[in-house]
């Protein structure tokens, strides 16, 4: 479940607005940042009112986001990953690291 970030933004010209920001992870592992203007501060006087306006957007974002490990991959892409020296980090997302006390010397 993603809540996103809702902040008032000041404008040089025009009235201040509420801006909704969120991020997603693309299938290639890069983080994508998004933002959308919800409405003016006059329309939504406080954060709770603005948050009610983005409820549909938040549910749409949450429904469309999928886990990293569910992306489709061709056999050629899998072969490229396996040739990579860091294939464990690419496939598993992170290399398990030993704690300082359990490292071998």
pLDDT single digits (tens) 84-104: 656 556 555 544 555 566 656
Q: Check: pTM over 0.75? Answer yes or no.
A: no
29-64 residue pLDDT tens: 888 898 988 899 999 999 999 888 888 777 777 666
User: Rounded mean pLDDT of 72-86?
Assistant: 68
CA 5, 22, 25, 72 dihedral sign is positive
Which tokens in the block code for residue 22? 């969120």
Q: In whole angstroms, what is the distance from residue 89 CA to residue 25 CA? A: 16
Can you give the pLDDT at residue 41? 93
Give the pLDDT of residue 100. 60
């Amino acid at each position: 479940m993603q809540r996103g970030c809702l902040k008032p933004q000041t404008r040089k010209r025009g009235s201040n607005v509420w801006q909704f920001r969120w991020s997603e992870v693309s299938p290639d592992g890069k983080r994508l940042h998004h933002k959308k203007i919800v409405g003016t501060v006059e329309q939504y006087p406080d954060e709770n009112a603005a948050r009610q306006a983005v409820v549909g957007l938040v549910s749409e974002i949450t429904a469309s986001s999928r886990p990293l490990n569910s992306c489709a991959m061709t056999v050629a892409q899998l072969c490229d990953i396996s040739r990579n020296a860091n294939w464990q980090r690419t496939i598993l997302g992170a290399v398990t690291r030993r704690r300082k006390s359990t490292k071998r010397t």
